[in-house]
Amino acid sequence: MNHGGTHLLVFLAGIPLLGFLFLLPLQIQWRQLSVPWLGVVHYLACVSPQLGSVLYHLFMNHHGGATVYRKLLTLDMCGICLVNTLGALPIIYCTLLCYPATRSLALLVYSALSSYVIFCAVSAHSNISRFCSFTWQAAFRFYFFYLRWAGLGSGHPSSLRCYLLMDGLALLGGIINISRLPERLRPGKFDYWCNSHQIMHVLVVISILYLHWGVTSDLTWISSHSCPLE
Ligand SMILES: [Zn+2]
């Protein structure tokens, strides 16, 4: 792990954390929410990866040895796992809004799958295997994107685009982080600015913004949508 530019990373994760903590709840129309727990889940999803990253980079400066590093990395991973898990629940809920039984089953299966993924991600020994453990959740989400695209699933018409951008940006961030570009091409030049890890952090924040825009549209859409009677 490159320790250069670590203070900058605290800010790269810290400023969005403050934004998400205090501004995001103001953007959710709580009084109009027909399913309030979706709003709460969404809020926790957006805040958790930034919180994990801030703690991770803040304490990275205190060189506490391998065990402390391992614990911190676990904390950082838990944040990413939480946004992957909690972030998708409103998407799944909204896609199957008019099929309550299937909806509950899908939410349950995704939660169970996520527990397995969290276990894999936390116990992974390399960046690549850690990254790959998230593919199962991604595949599940893409199936729901497909349902929406094919008109079989429901939701706000503009949300699907947001979710595709969200996963595209997160994937790009993960690939850049693993490939160690651009610092691999010119070693030493990017120790403080624009290294792969910083680029990843910026992409993750933009990705969460797209998640937020998609979910807020979906949540308002739920309040105005009535399912056809059998
Ligand atoms: Zn980081």
Task: List pLDDT tens digits, range 77-90.
Answer: 888 889 999 999 99
The mean per-residue pLDDT over the stretch 12-36 comes to: 89
**Which SS3 state, helix, strand or coil, does residue 151 take?**
coil
Are 200 and 176 in contact by the 8 Å Cβ rule? The answer is yes
Given a cut of 80, whether residue 60 has pLDDT beyond it is: no
57 is in an annotated binding site: yes
Q: What is the DSSP string of 22-66?
A: HTHHHHS-GGG-SSHHHHHHHHHHHHHHHHHHHHHHHHHTS--HH
Could you tell me which residue, 31 or 38, shows the higher pLDDT?
Answer: 38
Distances (CA, A) of 155 to 1, 213, 215: 41, 13, 9
Tokens 């060189």 locate to: 63
- Which residue has 């400066």 as its token pair? 61
Which residues contact residue 216 at a Cβ distance below 8 angstroms, ignoring those fewer than 6 apart?
Answer: 27, 28
Q: Which domains does the chain have, with CATH numbers?
A: 6-224 (1.20.1070)
Residues with CB under 5 A from ligand 1 (ion): 53
Q: What pLDDT, on a 0 to 100 scale, did the predictor assign at position 63?
A: 64
Give the Å distance between the CA of 8 and the centre of ligand 1: 10
More confident residue, 63 or 152: 152
How many C-beta atoms lie closer than 10 Å to residue 228's C-beta? Answer: 5
State the pLDDT at residue 12.
82
Q: Report CA(200)–ligand 1 centroid distance (Å).
A: 8
Highest-scoring range by mean pLDDT, 3-12, 16-25, 187-196, 210-219 = 210-219
Q: Can you give the pTM of this predicted structure?
A: 0.90
Distance 94 CA to ligand 1 centre (A): 31
CA 93 to ligand 1 center in whole angstroms: 30
What percent of the chain is predicted at pLDDT more than 70? 95
Report how far ligand 1's centroid is from the alpha carbon of 196 (Å): 10
* 201 annotated ligand-binding residue: yes
Rounded Cα–Cα distance for residues 194 and 134 (Å): 25
pLDDT at 72: 78
C-alpha 14 – ligand 1 centre gap (Å): 11
Asked if the model's pLDDT at residue 2 lies above 50, the reply is no
pLDDT digits (tens, 9 = 90+) for 166-183: 999 999 998 998 888 888
